[in-house]
Amino acid sequence: MNRASRRVASPHVVCIEDFRPLARRRVPQSVFDYLDGGAEGEVTLRENCRVFEDVTFRPRHAVVVPECSLRTRVLGFDLSLPFMLAPVGYSRLMHPGGEVSAARSAGKAGTAYILSTISGHKLEDVKAASSGPVFYQLYLMGGRAAAEASMERARVAGFSALVVTIDTPVSGIRERDFRNGMKEMISGGLFEKIPFLPQVLSRPGWLADFLLDGGMPSLENVVVPGKGPLPLVDVAAALAESAITWADLRWIRELWRGPVVVKGVLTAEDARRAVDEGAAAISVSNHGGRQLDGVPSALRALPEIVSAVKGQIEVWMDGGIRRGTDIVKAICLGANAVLCGRAYAYGLAAAGEAGVNRAIEILRTDLERTLKLLGCPSIAALDRSYVNVPRGWEES
C-alpha cells in the first residue's frame, strides 16, 4: 500500500465526508473551493444533500439476503455498480492524474466515466486508461467547428455516448471563486496574482505536483481547427458563447449518430422535449448547485420527471450523492442510475487515484450493506415500496 492509499484508508476515511478536510489540506483554497462550492447563496447546493433526509426507508426484516447484486444496465452496457463518475471540469488541477486517474478507477470498478469538455488530458489518453465504458460530455466551447472536431476524435477513440449539458448558457456565479482570485490566478498578470499567491505557496506538495505536470493545463479537447488547444485563460469567454439550444442538439445527434444523453433536466417539460428530440437518456441535474441557485434539488425534481418520461428513455440523476443510501433512495424514486461528482472528486483532490478508488469502494460497500439492511436482493428489485416520501411528492 503506497502513502496515498494509506492516507485514505480506514480509519482516516470512513465515509465520503472524511475526504473533505484531506482535500482542503492538500490543494490551495481556490482549487478546494472551486470543487466544494456552489452558485450564489449555495441554497441549491445545500438542499441537494439535505433533501435525502426527507426520504426514509421501509425495510423488509427477517428475510435472508445472502448476496446483493449491484449490477445495472445503462445505455446497453452492463455496469457492476449503479453509479457512474460525473464530468468534473479542471480535474487535472486537483491532481495531475486528473481525468486519466478517474477513468482508470471507474473502469477497474466496472463502471462508466464521463469526461468533461473542460479537461486537461487528451480524450484519447482518457479512453485508453479505462477498461470500462467512457462517455464524452459536450459543451459547444470554441463553436461548432471545435465541437465537430472533438466529436470525431471521441468517435474514433471509442467513446460510446455523448452527454450534452444544457444548463450552462453562462457560467453560474460561484462567489468563492471570485474571493479566491480564481480569475486572476488563471488569466491575470503577475501583479494581479500576487495577493493570491500565499494560498498556493502554502501547499508545497500540490505546487510541486502542479509544476512537474507542466503548470496550467490547456483544454486538450477543445481544438478549433487550425488552432491549438484552448488555453485555460480563454475558458470563461468561450463558455459564455457556448449556449446549447434544442436546434444544436439536433445537429449534434445527426453528427454523432450514437446515443446522446441530455444532462441538466429539471422539469417535466424539458424531459418530454428531450424524449421528442431523440435523447437516449436524461440526467436530472442542477449541476451540483453550481448554476442557477434556487432551483429544486435533483432528488426533489426526480419524481415529476420519471412520470413524464413514462419509461421511454433512461432517467439518470445527479446532485448531492455522498452515501450509498442516497443512491438507493434515488433508484427507489425511479432513477436507472446516478452520477457522482464531488464524491469522487474530493478523493481525487485528497490523494489522486488512490482517493478515487477509495471513494468508489466506500460507495460500493455502502450499497451492499444498505441492500442487506433493507432486505432487498438487488438494485434491480428496488422500487417505491422501499421508501416513504413526503406528502406532495407522490402527486408530482
Ligand X SMILES: Cc1cc2nc3c(=O)[nH]c(=O)nc-3n(C[C@H](O)[C@H](O)[C@H](O)COP(=O)(O)O)c2cc1C
Q: Cβ(123)–Cβ(113) under 8 Å?
A: no
Q: Cβ(282)–Cβ(261) under 8 Å?
A: yes
Those residues whose C-beta lies under 8 Å from the C-beta of residue 178, and which sit 6 or more positions away, are none
Query: Which member of 12, 95, 121, 287 is catalytic?
Result: 287
Question: Does 137 participate in binding ligand X (rule CB under 6 A)?
Answer: yes
Those residues whose C-beta lies under 8 Å from the C-beta of residue 25, and which sit 6 or more positions away, are none
Grid coordinates representing 350?
Answer: 485528497
Q: Residue number with the shortest CB distance to ligand X?
A: 341
Closest separation between CB of residue 30 and ligand X, Å? 12
Q: How far is CA 26 from CA 144, 209, 351, in A?
A: 38, 11, 8
State the alpha helices, DSSP H only, in 27-166: 29-36, 43-50, 91-94, 98-109, 123-129, 143-157
* Alpha-carbon dihedral sign for residues 215, 290, 307, 375: positive
Q: In the complex with ligand X, which residue's Cβ is closer, 348 or 371?
A: 348
Among 82, 89, 217, 355, binds ligand X (CB under 6 A): 89
Closest CA to 319 of 357, 290, 360: 290
Q: In the complex with ligand X, which residue's Cβ is closer, 129 or 345?
A: 345
Give the residues across from 72 on adjacent strands.
79
Q: Cβ(286)–Cβ(35) under 8 Å?
A: no
Residues 35-64 that bind ligand X (CB under 6 A): 35, 48
Residues 283-302 that bind ligand X (CB under 6 A): 285, 287-288, 290
Q: How far apart, in Å, do the first and last CA atoms of the chain sit?
A: 49
The binding track of 342-361 with respect to ligand X, each residue x by CB under 6 A or -, is xx-x----------------
Closest separation between CB of residue 243 and ligand X, Å? 14
Q: Other CB atoms closer than 10 Å to residue 81's CB: what's the count?
A: 24
Question: Does 101 participate in binding ligand X (rule CB under 6 A)?
Answer: no
Closest separation between CB of residue 137 and ligand X, Å? 5
Closest separation between CB of residue 34 and ligand X, Å? 6
Question: Does 82 participate in binding ligand X (rule CB under 6 A)?
Answer: no
287 is known as an active-site residue: yes
Segment near ligand X (CB under 6 A); pick from 9-17, 170-178, 186-194, 335-343: 335-343
Segment near ligand X (CB under 6 A); pick from 193-201, 244-252, 317-325, 369-377: 317-325
Grid coordinates representing 100?
Answer: 486519466
Question: Does 109 participate in binding ligand X (rule CB under 6 A)?
Answer: no
Closest separation between CB of residue 281 and ligand X, Å? 14
Tell me, rounded to whole angstroms, the distance of Cα 295 from its chain centroid: 18
The binding track of 114-133 with respect to ligand X, each residue x by CB under 6 A or -, is --x-x---------------
Question: Does 252 participate in binding ligand X (rule CB under 6 A)?
Answer: no
Those residues whose C-beta lies under 8 Å from the C-beta of residue 257, and which sit 6 or more positions away, are none
Binding site for ligand X (CB under 6 A): 34-35, 48, 86-89, 116, 118, 137, 165, 263, 285, 287-288, 290, 318-321, 339-343, 345
Residues that are catalytic: 287
